[in-house]
């Protein structure tokens, strides 16, 4: 019988002026972007942590410390691909991914499909195995007031025999 494992990832970054907004590897036009040591792609960070968690591997902060200058301004897609190598080396293959982006602004409906396609490409999955949803926070809390964008991701992986 197939051996499936599930993992969850969560991340939040602050929205600030003078930064590009990158979500799921896709640049989204907006007057602010996410602050962080890398490109601060909150969604790819949550995907990476969900994948690593499903395989019980060390988390993104352990693999790519934000104190390491090597990761300053890093493309989070490259960090995800490095995590994918660890996942495959441990004998796992991604099975499907379900994502929620928590953002009051900008409106993301036009970007959900391109983001899902990019995540599918990075994980070597068919696009119909990746779901991307966007939710506002009803004006409440740091997400609702536009101080931050967060992401929650669940990934299922399959242990290859
Ligand atoms: Mg992060």
Whether residue 96 has pLDDT greater than 80: yes
Q: Which residues pair with 25 in a beta bridge?
A: none
**How far does residue 77's CA lie from ligand 1's centre (Å)?**
12
Confidence band (pLDDT; 50, 70, 90) for 3?
very high
CA of 43 to the centre of ligand 1 (A): 8
Task: Please say if the pLDDT value at position 73 is more than 90.
Answer: no
Query: Rounded to the nearest whole angstrom, what is the distance from the C-alpha of residue 55 to the centroid of ligand 1?
Result: 19
Residue 47 pLDDT: 98
Residue 74 or residue 120, greater confidence:
120
What is the 161 CA–ligand 1 centroid distance (Å)? 32
pTM comes to 0.96
Give the pLDDT of residue 135: 97
63: how many CB neighbours lie within 10 A of its CB?
16
Give me the mean pLDDT over the 29-58 stretch: 96
Residues 125/63, Cβ–Cβ less than 8 Å: no
The CB density around residue 29, as the number of other CB atoms within 10 Å, is: 8
CA of 153 to the centre of ligand 1 (A): 13
How many angstroms does the Cα of residue 32 sit away from the middle of ligand 1?
A: 17
- In this model, does residue 70 exceed pLDDT 90? no
Mean pLDDT of the chain: 96
140 Cβ contact list (under 8 Å, min separation 6): none
The total number of structural domains in the chain stands at 1
pLDDT at res. 129: 98
Centre of ligand 1 from the C-alpha of residue 1, in Å = 35
For position 13, which CATH number holds? 3.30.1330.50
Owning domain of residue 18: 3-159
Q: Hey, what are 112's tokens?
A: 């959900």
- Tell me: pLDDT of 66 over 90: no
What is the mean pLDDT of the segment spanning 122-131? 97
- For residue 45, how far is its CA from the centre of ligand 1 (angstroms)? 5
Task: Tell me: pLDDT of 86 over 80.
Answer: yes
Whether pLDDT at 10 is above 90 = yes
Question: How many A from CA of 2 to the centre of ligand 1?
Answer: 32
Has residue 1 got a pLDDT over 80?
Answer: no
Quote the ligand 1 centre to 88 CA distance (angstroms). 22
pLDDT exceeds cutoff 80 at 82: yes
For 48, the 3-state DSSP assignment is helix
User: Average of pLDDT values for 115-120?
Assistant: 98
């Amino acid at each position: 019988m197939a051996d499936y494992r599930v993992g969850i990832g969560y991340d939040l970054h602050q929205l600030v002026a003078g930064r590009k907004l990158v979500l799921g590897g896709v640049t989204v036009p907006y007057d602010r972007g996410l602050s962080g040591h890398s490109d601060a792609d909150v969604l790819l960070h949550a995907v990476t942590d969900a994948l690593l968690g499903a395989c019980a591997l060390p988390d993104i902060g352990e693999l790519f410390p934000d104190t390491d200058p090597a990761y300053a301004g890093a493309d989070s897609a490259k960090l995800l691909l490095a995590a994918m190598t660890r996942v495959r080396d441990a004998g796992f293959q991604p099975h499907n991914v379900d994502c929620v982006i928590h953002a009051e602004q900008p409106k993301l409906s036009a970007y959900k499909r391109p983001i899902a396609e990019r995540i599918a490409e990075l994980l070597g999955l068919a696009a119909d195995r990746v779901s991307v949803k966007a939710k506002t926070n009803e004006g409440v809390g740091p997400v609702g007031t536009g101080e931050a964008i967060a992401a929650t991701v669940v990934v299922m992986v399959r242990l290859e025999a």
